[in-house]
Structure 1
């Protein structure tokens, strides 16, 4: 099942953190994430100040993840170690109870998706974010995923605000049911 909790957490490792696609997380991934986030938020621009901000965020995230998930202290975090850390730190919790560095990552991730910086992720931005990570044959599956995330308030606002994104991200990681609404936060998932 593509939307199981195990698959959702594995998706986070594979598509959000494991930038070099070697199957595990290490400090190199988070150095690359800093540069990627800087360039994406700057729409190609990579100012020294923004890069420094993202290097701080990603280094903090890496340090926090290693404390939570590097159980064998080898400097690498496997998908299984990451899943166990998410179980310990996120399952059943609200966004406010998440580890601080993870919250900083979620907020910076929102900024990279909110291309026009209006404070709302609209359908076009959601499509753009999804299509960068996966192979999709038709736009309808992405649009359907976006539509299923929205509540009435989101529809009035024209999409997903940062507070709603935080709530959905917390559900994506913290709700272990296959039917949680946030399972579509990153579009249609593959198994």
Structure 2
């Protein structure tokens, strides 16, 4: 159950998008994501021009998700997207699709996310960077579980390169969201737990 499609999408909402942890998505979450991306990419340094760039990416993503997820047409009233609405949107625009076929703003977010994880800017997410990203996103009490998840995700080519390139990250991200099967992509964000489903209740 920890790596079911349902649980994976719940994880994305809770640990990647719902920055204020209030149980739903709104425009403020994506403004916070823009600032987070700017500070992490700058390794603590703040760049206003980089913030503007990230703000454009994140608010475009919000608008795209909002348009896809607003099934009951109440977004204009409350400005919120529930977990269930987000899942329906992901199912509609990502299920069974490759990265190239994802909505443009989502692709921009995925590429931006890669940059945040690739701390040394060498174009490869290695074991240390993966470990750091996992441990700062959700509670983990055993580093070996994280390392096992990383190794389980790698192909032979990934091992030769020492980790994930951007194109490989894009491919795995698309599988994480768009493939109902439990492939090696389920480890993209670390060792998931079933408790992510508690977010829905």
TM-score tier (shorter):
over 0.9
Q: How do residues 129-168 of structure 1 correspond to structure 2 at under 5 angstroms?
A: 129-168=133-172
Q: Give the count of matched residue pairs.
A: 190
Which whole-Å CA distance do the structure 2 matches of 1:15 and 1:135 have between them?
Answer: 11
1:70 Cα deviation (Å)?
Answer: 1.9
Gaps of 5+ in 1: none
User: 2:124 aligns to what?
Assistant: 120
Residue 71 (structure 2) pairs with residue 71 (structure 1): yes
Deviation beyond 4 Å, 4+ runs, structure 1: none
User: 2:185 aligns to what?
Assistant: 182
Which whole-Å CA distance do the structure 2 matches of 1:171 and 1:101 have between them?
Answer: 17
Which whole-Å CA distance do the structure 2 matches of 1:145 and 1:70 have between them?
Answer: 34
User: 1:92 aligns to what?
Assistant: 96
Which whole-Å CA distance do the structure 1 matches of 2:138 and 2:91 have between them?
Answer: 26
Residue 52 (structure 2) pairs with residue 48 (structure 1): no
SS at match of 1:15: helix
1:133 Cα deviation (Å)?
Answer: 1.2
User: 2:36 aligns to what?
Assistant: 36
Residue 4 (structure 2) pairs with residue 4 (structure 1): yes
For normalisation by structure 2, the TM-score amounts to 0.93
Give the structure, 1 or 2, with the largest relative contact order (CA under 8 Å, sep 6 or more).
2
SS at match of 2:13: helix
User: 2:198 aligns to what?
Assistant: none
Gaps of 5+ in 2: 195-201
